[in-house]
Structure 1
Amino acid sequence: MASALKRGCRFIVITFFLLLALAAGAAFWLWQGHRGFADMPIGGVAADATVEVVSGDAFPTVLRKLRKTGVSHGTDLQWRLLARQTGTASQLKVGEYAMDPALTPRELLQRMREGRTLQYRFTIVEGWNIRQLRAALRNATPLQQKTTDLSDAELMAALGHAGQHPEGRFLPETYVYTRSETDLDVLKRAHAAMEKAVDAAWQARAQDIPLQSAEEALILASIIEKETGIAEERPAIAGVFARRLKIGMPLQTDPTVIYGIGSSYDGNIRRRDLTTDTPYNTYTRRGLTPTPIAMPGVDALKAAVNPADGTALYFVAVGDGSGRHIFSTTLAEHNAAVARYLVTRRETLRKAEAP
């Protein structure tokens, strides 16, 4: 009887350990399979595919979106377990995510937990005016459009700056945005960046400049920006304008005339344009224009408040296509430089047209 009982106990113990070993083996097999799923590329999607997580999306909804992009890797249970294990299920960040087929499920979910969304770029070019900026914004994709039907005045009100002229108010640089953002979001950042840049330039201004405010510095910087694309020339051009302002001499700068002509400008400045008075004609009016005429960059802002020393009161393009200028102190020197410009310009055009 005792012997039979012992044999029964041994059988139970052996069976228990066999079942335990089987369970451990099954658990190891499942763990290995789960790890293999989590760390193998998802595949099955196009290289440019994306998935968007919107506000209110729970992980099952996101998983359905993943399947629609072509993700067939892993079971729904494996995805849910991994999302819970990585904390993604409770920490999904709204945004658009790139679906690179080389990504593993673990890497993809980590991106969604950390909010590493797909980003786009929009560049404001130095020297653009507000019309050019708004036209470029309308063509920016996938930026959501909120300002298309707004007038310039309505646009500035929407940005929180009612009554402010929009020209020159947005700093030229590259701005990053996501699919969920709008053109207003980009413009708010660009406006804040310009205010910061203008303030920094004004705080670092030379003490003897003929400017009374940061606003005047912005206006002058916009004129400098339109006069040259050569960075090292900007302080010299600023010096010419500063000396003219000090002695009450008209700035006589063509970009202001062009701005005054507006959208009807056809690429040519005629003598009548120089003599027709507008608020922006610096041939007929002394001093600065009433507003900026373009979006100046940081270098133009710095030049406006720290003009180069010298005696030059005039400058004219070299005429060889380099964009560089010749600076002169007297009108006689300037007239001679203009004559050389005309000769060089004709020769440059002749060479360009030669077969």
Structure 2
Amino acid sequence: MRKFLWIFLILLIVAAGIGYYGYNAIFAPNVTLAQDEQLIRIPTGFTYEDVLLMLEDKEIIDNSRTFDQVASLMDYKSSSIRSGQYEIKNNWSNKELVGLLRSGRQTPVNVTFNNLRKPEDVAGKISSYLEIDSLTLKEYFEHPSALEKAGLTPETFLSLFIPNTYQMYWNVSKEDILDRMITEHDKFWSKENRLKKAEKLNLTPEEVYTLASIVEKESLRNDEKTTIAGVYLNRLKQGIPLQADPTVVFATGEFDLRRVLNKHLAYDSPYNTYLYAGLPPGPIYMPSISSIDGVLNYNGHDYLYFCANPDQPGGHLFAASLSEHNRNAARYHRWLNARGIR
């Protein structure tokens, strides 16, 4: 009887020990971080062994063996690994960590883009935040299927992108990126009567965006953008070439030009608005929202010309007549010459 009691006590102790170990393996803290939380990224194609190795290399888990056991118990070890960006917290248990990774509940990435010149620049900027590489995204943006879905041409494709900050999942596909941009583009144009204002100007959203890109490169001063837009709209209505220096810079590709000369004005390109009347084939830059709205809410006036104001850095002198403009331009050229800008 006494022997049986001892055996029972030993088994009870062993069971208690196993239970204690099992409880700690599942529920005790096993995540140690230098801060309260940390983001980890699991690339597409990772296996369970890759995930475990990453957690070990980053010294995120204290005990690999208990993590492995809980991962097996919760069927994470044998399941398809969900890629993405995850936020984990200090002192988490194996159950909490495995539960998050198994669920696929990602923490989104803030993707910000502005001040870009071409679609390939946008691809590079977006990809810098995400898993997708820039070449893959660039090639997709240039693919006929993407252009058709967006309803745009290679020349107007930049107009799809409204500068802002967007939340995306780190492992988002190229198709989903395009769909998101189309949704955001349509949402932007549906607000504040933008579509109706564009129609009133007899311009498409792409044409408004294109004109806004010129306005953007002409002035950084928001208080002047509606007036500059008014100048260009007056010239469009009267069939006068826009004669916008930024379009010449874009056409030549000499983006560091400090002064546009006659040789640049003679550069043959459909983007050269000195040689070709009307708007260029597409935007020459990603305009800010203030420039887009500056076109839509342009300042009505009779100005047809403007040039930089040497007495007001970043400002411009506006004129309704060519003679007045020539006087303003001569004054500005003297200012350039005096500073050796040639």
Q: Same fold (TM over 0.5)?
A: yes
Of residues 250, 260, 265 in structure 2, which corresponds to 1:269?
260
Alpha-carbon distance, 1:223 to partner: 1.9
Alpha-carbon distance in structure 1 between the residues aligned to 2:25 and 2:119? 56
User: 1:39 maps to what in 2?
Assistant: 29
| 1:254 correspondence with 2:245 | yes
CA-to-aligned-CA distance 1:53-81 (integer Å, 9 cap, x gap): 64584x56643553454456225245433
Of residues 215, 234, 242 in structure 2, which corresponds to 1:224?
215
Where in structure 2 are the equivalents of 1:1-355 lying within 5 Å? 22=13, 26=17, 29-30=20-21, 33-34=24-25, 38-42=28-32, 50=40, 52=42, 54=44, 57=47, 62-70=51-59, 73-74=62-63, 76-77=65-66, 79-81=68-70, 84=73, 93-97=82-86, 105-117=94-106, 123-130=112-119, 132-133=121-122, 143-147=132-136, 150=139, 155-161=142-148, 164-167=153-156, 168-171=158-161, 172-174=163-165, 180-181=171-172, 186=177, 189-190=180-181, 193-194=184-185, 196-198=187-189, 200=191, 202-205=194-197, 208-209=200-201, 211-261=202-252, 263=253, 267=257, 268-319=259-310, 322-342=313-333, 344-345=335-336, 349=339
8 Å contact from structure 1 (residues 130, 294) kept in 2: no
Helix, strand or coil at the partner of 2:82: coil
In the superposition, relative to structure 1, how do residues 206 and 192 fare at CA in structure 2: closer, same or farther (>3 Å)?
closer
Q: Percent identity?
A: 25
Alpha-carbon distance, 1:204 to partner: 4.0
8 Å contact from structure 1 (residues 202, 217) kept in 2: no
Aligned residues: 332
Helix, strand or coil at the partner of 1:205: helix
Query: Match of 2:117, as an amino acid?
Result: W
Which range moves more in the overlay, 302-311 or 59-68? 59-68
8 Å contact from structure 2 (residues 127, 134) kept in 1: yes
- Provide structure 2 residue ranges, at least 5 long, that are not aligned to the other structure: none
In the superposition, relative to structure 1, how do residues 43 and 174 fare at CA in structure 2: closer, same or farther (>3 Å)?
closer
CA-to-aligned-CA distance 1:139-191 (integer Å, 9 cap, x gap): 777532444895x9x81414242871244334133455666456676456445
Alpha-carbon distance, 1:241 to partner: 1.2
Alpha-carbon distance, 1:256 to partner: 1.7
In the superposition, relative to structure 1, how do residues 305 and 49 fare at CA in structure 2: closer, same or farther (>3 Å)?
closer
Alpha-carbon distance, 1:22 to partner: 4.6
Alpha-carbon distance, 1:52 to partner: 2.3
**CA RMSD between the two structures:** 4.6
Alpha-carbon distance, 1:325 to partner: 2.2
8 Å contact from structure 1 (residues 230, 323) kept in 2: yes
Alpha-carbon distance, 1:207 to partner: 6.7
CA-to-aligned-CA distance 1:103-160 (integer Å, 9 cap, x gap): 654553344245354766654333513464466678777532444895x9x8141424
8 Å contact from structure 1 (residues 119, 176) kept in 2: yes
Alpha-carbon distance in structure 2 between the residues aligned to 1:334 and 1:114? 66
User: 1:4 maps to what in 2?
Assistant: none
Alpha-carbon distance, 1:252 to partner: 1.5
Alpha-carbon distance, 1:254 to partner: 0.8
Alpha-carbon distance, 1:253 to partner: 0.8
In the superposition, relative to structure 1, how do residues 343 and 158 fare at CA in structure 2: closer, same or farther (>3 Å)?
same
- Provide structure 1 residue ranges, at least 5 long, that are not aligned to the other structure: 1-7
- Report the TM-score when normalising by structure 2: 0.71
Helix, strand or coil at the partner of 2:63: coil
Alpha-carbon distance, 1:307 to partner: 1.0
